[in-house]
Amino acid sequence: MSKLRVAVIGAKGRIGSEAVRAVEAAEDLELVAALGRGDSPETLSDSGAQVAVELTTPDSVMDNVAYCVGHGVHAVVGTTGWTEERLARLEGELESSPGTGVLIAPNFSIGAVLTMKFAERAAKYFESVEVVELHHPRKADAPSGTATRTAQLIAAARAAAGRAPQPDATATALDGARGADVDGVPVHSVRLRGLLAHQEVLLGGEGETLTIRHDSLHHSSFMPGILLGVRRVVDTPGLTFGLEHFLDLN
Ligand SMILES: NC(=O)C1=CN([C@@H]2O[C@H](COP(=O)(O)OP(=O)(O)OC[C@H]3O[C@@H](n4cnc5c(N)ncnc54)[C@H](OP(=O)(O)O)[C@@H]3O)[C@@H](O)[C@H]2O)C=CC1
Ligand SMILES: O=C(O)C1=N[C@H](C(=O)O)C[C@H](O)C1
């Protein structure tokens, strides 16, 4: 059987370089291009790539994914920065290329995906919930894409259950002391040397708390999810948001 031809965009970055190694090591995949900043996007189409793994920056990702979609190259995207408006733009681009698939995964690690699902499931049972994400100090964006998605899922679950806003008597606060407000869920971002990617969801009810914690200790934690995305996206036209759609989680 012929190998699936894969390109990595952002190939010199922290996760991109790990993805290059993972694709090279996979027997059913062939790395046909490894693009860094400044490389012409034509490198991608000239390489004959069927799938591009996009791991760059929020500033670059839109143009790169638009190029992929415009050239019928499926995309597996880990880069953060996806707002409602950006997603709507991408949906529009996909309409002109209906056979192309794009997977956007806020997090490729199985533990992080499960954390999101567990938090969504637990949300309606607790009065209070806050998210703390902890990352390495070279991370450019805050809150993390994972924490933003987690908070959105929690907020939607609370709204669907008719939960009232969270109790919080804070009357005065320094800017940022109560975190960022993501759909009513406070999200706190820690940047600390020695960390990689970690998240805690703190849920509180009368006389009890529940903490759901996940730790990515190495970039290798993201690789099985990336490879699964590459193998599945070619048969999944349109936009898929979240790796959970490619996992049997029910
Ligand atoms: N979904 C997930 O599971 C994960 C997602 N991420 C996300 O992935 C992204 C990358 O993270 P990380 O690897 O730590 O960041 P890095 O800064 O280490 O890597 C990004 C790389 O992309 C390059 N780059 C920027 N623009 C372009 C472009 N237009 N074409 C090609 N290459 C480009 C950068 O080059 P230069 O250095 O020259 O700017 C850099 O080498 C972030 O958004 C991060 O949040 C990270 C880990 C897991
Ligand atoms: O920048 C990172 O490192 C990570 N980024 C993603 C995010 O913002 O959620 C995924 C993971 O947390 C690692």
Tens digits of residue pLDDT in 23-50? 999 999 999 999 999 999 999 999 999 9
Instruction: Indicate if the pLDDT at residue 88 is higher than 80.
Output: yes
Question: How many alpha carbons lie under 13 Å from residue 183 in its C-beta half-sphere?
Answer: 15
Q: What is the pLDDT of residue 1?
A: 79
Q: What is the pLDDT of residue 50?
A: 98
Query: Residue 9 C-alpha to ligand 1 middle, in angstroms?
Result: 8
CATH top-level class for 4-104+220-246? alpha beta
Contact 55, 41 (CB under 8 A): no
Instruction: Indicate if the pLDDT at residue 215 is higher than 80.
Output: yes
- Which of 44, 55, 59, 217 gets mutated to test ligand 1 (max ligand atoms within 8 A of its CB)? 55
- Residues classed as catalytic: 135, 139
The percent of residues above 90 in pLDDT, for the chain, comes to 98
Query: Residue 36 C-alpha to ligand 1 middle, in angstroms?
Result: 9
Q: What is the pLDDT of residue 222?
A: 98
Instruction: Indicate if the pLDDT at residue 248 is higher than 90.
Output: no
Ligand 1: residues whose CB is within 6 Å? 9-10, 12-16, 35-37, 55-57, 60, 64, 78-80, 105-108, 145, 222
Q: What are the residues facing 105 on neighbouring strands?
A: none
Query: Residue 197 C-alpha to ligand 2 middle, in angstroms?
Result: 6
pLDDT in tens, 138-191: 999 999 999 999 999 999 999 999 999 999 999 999 999 999 999 999 999 999
Task: For residue 196, give the ligand 2 atom closest to its CA.
Answer: 3
Query: Residue 1 C-alpha to ligand 2 middle, in angstroms?
Result: 34
Q: Which of 35, 31, 77, 32 is nearest to 54 (CA)?
A: 77
Listed by start position, the domains of the chain span 4-104+220-246, 110-217
Residue 125: pLDDT band with limits 50, 70, 90: very high
Contact 61, 104 (CB under 8 A): no
Instruction: Indicate if the pLDDT at residue 10 is higher than 90.
Output: yes
Answer yes or no: is the C-beta of 144 below 6 A from any ligand 2 atom: yes
pLDDT in tens, 66-81: 999 999 999 999 999 9
Tally of CB atoms within 10 A around 83: 10
**Predicted structure pTM score:** 0.97
> Would you say 149 is a known binding-site residue?
no
Q: Which ligand is nearest to the CA of 196?
A: 2
> Would you say 146 is a known binding-site residue?
yes
Fold adopted by 110-217: Dihydrodipicolinate Reductase; domain 2 (3.30.360)
Q: In residues, how long is the chain?
A: 250
Instruction: Indicate if the pLDDT at residue 250 is higher than 80.
Output: no
Q: What is the pLDDT of residue 249?
A: 85
Please tell me if the domain spanning 4-104+220-246 has the same topology as the one spanning 110-217. no
Q: What is the pLDDT of residue 161?
A: 98
pLDDT in tens, 14-25: 999 999 999 999
Tally of CB atoms within 10 A around 201: 27
